[in-house]
Structure 1
Amino acid sequence: MSVLESRNRGARWATLTLVAAGVLAGSPGSAAAQEETEREMAELIGQVVSASTGLPIEGARVILLGSGYGAITDAEGNFRVPRTWAGRDSVEVRYIGYEAGYTVIDLEPDHTTSVTLTLSSTVIRIADLTVEVRQTRRARHLEGFLERMEKGFGTFFTPRDIINRNPRLPSDLLRGLPNVAVGRVEYGRAEIFLGEGARLGCPPALYLDGMYQAGMQFDDLEREVLGAVEVYRRDVETPMEFMRTGSTCGAIVVWTPAGAGFLDWAGELPDPFE
């Protein structure tokens, strides 16, 4: 059994119990974006650690099952979901070799909730043990940024490009690009449509640090989280790791400056909005 500790800023710590049992999650439907305009929003931050060692777990997937938003932990086990639905939601935590953890958490509107998730390892008997050193999932994706850029598919914004453009909203990065339609700003965000003819009613998939963000739009992000950006207008140019079944509306992939390894990958360039 695992433990989750939760606190809201200005509120006392509380201890909850993670139940190692399945929770059925419904994916947000096509009305998710419209639904958000009527919902209050909140932020979730936290850390995932091992129950046996207390050490942080890198690469764990943290999913809010109600909203579909989520994040992947960095080298310190930290994660951040900058925008999600306020109110009660179920949290799922998964990592290979550990039991999945589930709990219910209350997110206060317009506040940041901080949590500590503790996962128990799964014992597996093996005849031989092979130790293999691998790059983190995030580091592989960041190196892939340069490889994908060299192939010439899609449009890429490096940290320097973002500094030079100095967008007020994330969508400002895309204004003026061929086969990209950016609508009027309403309620603090503009709708974006990619591809030839910029098909209306077909918003692109959004990925944050390599993880799909269900029901989330580009302008739902703060500009401060824009470290590097990839834009794919058509499914034929979208890399396999950023394709979803039935999705033909392109993809926007965002890498955050706060993520593990970003500044090493970006060289000596500063954070775009530091």
Structure 2
Amino acid sequence: MRTTGLSLVIGMFIAVRPGMAQSSATLSGRILDATTGAPVVAATIAVTTTGGSARTDSLGRYRLEGLKVGIHRFLVSAPGYSRGSVTLAFAAKERMERDLEIEPVAAPGTTGVVGADTARAQVLPKVPVTADAAPGRRFTDFERRRATGRGQYMTRAEMEAFNVYTLQDAMRNMRGVKFNCTGGVCRAQMVRAPLGCPPEYVVDERIDNTFGPVIPVRDIQALEVYTGVSDVPGEFAGRNSGCGVIVIWTTAGREPRRK
């Protein structure tokens, strides 16, 4: 998005219901262009569970207040971009900050390049692509850890190939992982962990033991599973690492900034 000699300032509209409880949560952050990392102005983020919505300002910032404790699904849209969605869980009085990315859509009949001379555009023959698509810059650490051979890993393509429908399905055949099921709910338990010692969930580089176990598989882009303290990389070592660590990368995560 470009502006020439024009200062764009668009107000942020926040949906706040009267009489919201003091225990309600807040979600804030920015909506970013997935290709350039630039802020997306006038994007809308809507809460499907409440009907509330917010619109980004000239810096791509948004803020949603009055969210009840529990799981909410958010839809992000903006002119010229594909729609995106993310599901997040909130605790009482939580103040979550999350930057979200959406993919730009090229206009039909153009090359997708701003300022391209479409009158002189030449149609090139189709070239078959046989190489796997690059996973993206945000998965650099995922690939580095997978190369060490420590832990167990699964990508989005592998989940689709194996017809995985839940997080439990994805981990069911992994070594050293079992499940304790009560009341129709199954929770992962590492074989080497003490009884009643649940694994730590890290979602997009943030500890989230509330949303992690129930995250929809459609939102998972990659998965790392470490069943014991000897497998856990240093960046995930902590007080619960002896119980195992499950690292989840979702569609909501951001690419790191280019230096």
With normalisation by structure 2, the TM-score equals 0.51
1:86-125 aligned within 5 A:
89-91=93-95, 93=97
- Residue from 200, 203, 208 that aligns with 1:213: 208
* Cα drift, residue 4 of structure 1: 8.0
Q: Deviations over 1:30-75 (max 9, x none)?
A: xxxxxxxxxxxx799988978xxx3136xxxxxx9x88x9xxxxxx
Q: Which amino acid aligns with 2:190?
A: L
Q: Deviations over 1:115-156 (max 9, x none)?
A: xxxxxxxxxxxxxxxxxxxxxxxx765101111000001000
| In 2, Cα distance between equivalents of 1:192 and 1:210 | 20
Contact 1:184–1:191 (8 Å) recurs in 2? yes
| In 1, Cα distance between equivalents of 2:85 and 2:93 | 17
| In 2, Cα distance between equivalents of 1:91 and 1:151 | 36
Flag the 1:94–1:183 CA change in 2: closer, same or farther, 3 A: closer
Counterpart for residue 202 of structure 1: 197
- Residue from 252, 260, 269 that aligns with 2:246: 252
* Cα drift, residue 253 of structure 1: 0.8
* Cα drift, residue 179 of structure 1: 1.2
* Cα drift, residue 93 of structure 1: 4.7
Flag the 1:44–1:205 CA change in 2: closer, same or farther, 3 A: farther
Flag the 1:150–1:44 CA change in 2: closer, same or farther, 3 A: farther
Q: Does 1:166 align with 2:138?
A: no
Q: Which amino acid aligns with 2:90?
A: T
Counterpart for residue 191 of structure 1: 187
Residue 146 of structure 2: SS of its match in structure 1?
Answer: helix
1:257-268 aligned within 5 A:
257-261=251-255
Q: Deviations over 1:1-53 (max 9, x none)?
A: xx98543xxxxx569xxxxxxxxxxxxxxxxxxxxxxxxxx799988978xxx
| Range with bigger deviation, 226-235 or 163-172 | 163-172
With normalisation by structure 1, the TM-score equals 0.48
Q: Does 1:222 align with 2:216?
A: yes
Gaps of 5+ in 1: 8-12, 16-41, 58-63, 70-75, 96-138, 263-274
Flag the 1:236–1:148 CA change in 2: closer, same or farther, 3 A: same
| In 2, Cα distance between equivalents of 1:233 and 1:79 | 30
- Residue from 42, 55, 58 that aligns with 2:59: 55
Structure label with greater radius of gyration: 2
* Cα drift, residue 161 of structure 1: 1.2
1:116-135 aligned within 5 A:
none
Work out the percentage of aligned pairs sharing the same amino acid. Answer: 22
* Cα drift, residue 207 of structure 1: 1.2
Equivalent residue pairs, number: 172
* Cα drift, residue 245 of structure 1: 3.0
Flag the 1:92–1:158 CA change in 2: closer, same or farther, 3 A: closer
Counterpart for residue 33 of structure 2: none
| In 2, Cα distance between equivalents of 1:212 and 1:141 | 17
Counterpart for residue 153 of structure 1: 150
Flag the 1:261–1:48 CA change in 2: closer, same or farther, 3 A: farther
Contact 2:14–2:55 (8 Å) recurs in 1? no
Contact 1:45–1:79 (8 Å) recurs in 2? no
Contact 1:47–1:79 (8 Å) recurs in 2? no
| In 1, Cα distance between equivalents of 2:160 and 2:182 | 21
Runs of 4+ in 1 over 4 A off after TM superposition: 42-50, 78-81, 92-95
